[in-house]
Amino acid sequence: MAAGKSTVGAILAERLGWDFIDFDEEIERRTGYTIPEIFRLEGEPAFRALEAELTHEVTRLERVVLAPGGGWITQPGLLDHFGDETLVVWLRITPDEAVRRALRAPTHRPLLAGGAPLERARLLMHEREPLYRLADVVVDVDGKSAGEVADEIAGLLE
């Protein structure tokens, strides 16, 4: 959450000359609802089902940078849909930095709603970290610009 997946993904795709799919944007385009509206109206399970459906569609694409949401990895089996030629990158961010970025961004974060966003971010990271560790590579993003992170990932692909 707030690690820069959308921004870094778009920059990386442009530098590589590849397509880019931001899962949240694509789901919003398809449903006509914002992510917070989907969470409020239908709940997180409905949103996760939309993510899974989109995952099944994009696995056959080539030369594409994908930016699923931070909770995407929590759905059993989704990562298994991608072959060995797929580079899975964890944009690692500290909970403190994630909350700082999230609170200054105009995007509403349903999973940080309510009180104590830092505690919530720490809990989410603790729960998800074992799954994030399944990534092929880890790129730390604290203190780096989106361009620097994209350059680092592009270097891994060369």
d(Cα 68, Cα 90) in Å, to the nearest integer? 11
Task: Evaluate the CA torsion angle 131, 145, 121, 54 in order and state its sign.
Answer: negative
What is the average pLDDT value for the chain, to the nearest integer?
91
CATH of domain 5-157: 3.40.50.300
Q: What is the pLDDT of residue 104?
A: 77
66-104 burial, b if ≥16 CB within 10 A, otherwise e? Answer: bbbbbbbbeeeebbeeeeeeeeebbbbbebebbbbbbee
Q: What is the pLDDT of residue 38?
A: 95
Q: What percent of the chain has pLDDT over 70?
A: 94
Q: Name the pLDDT band for 106 (thresholds 50, 70, 90).
A: low
The model's pLDDT over 114-148, given as tens digits with 9 standing for 90+, comes to: 678 888 889 989 999 999 999 999 999 999 999 99
Q: Per-domain residue ranges for the chain? A: 5-157
Residue 76 has pLDDT above 70, yes or no: yes
Lowest-pLDDT choice from 54-58, 109-113, 122-126, 132-136: 109-113
- The encoded tokens of residue 115 equal 């009180």
Residue 111 has pLDDT above 60, yes or no: no
pTM equals 0.87
Question: Any idea what the Cα angle at residue 64 is, between residues 69 and 62, rounded to 5°?
Answer: 130
Q: What is the pLDDT of residue 84?
A: 87
d(Cα 42, Cα 110) in Å, to the nearest integer? 13
Q: Which residues pair with 92 in a beta bridge?
A: 140
Beta strand segments in 18-149, E = 19-22, 64-67, 89-92, 137-140
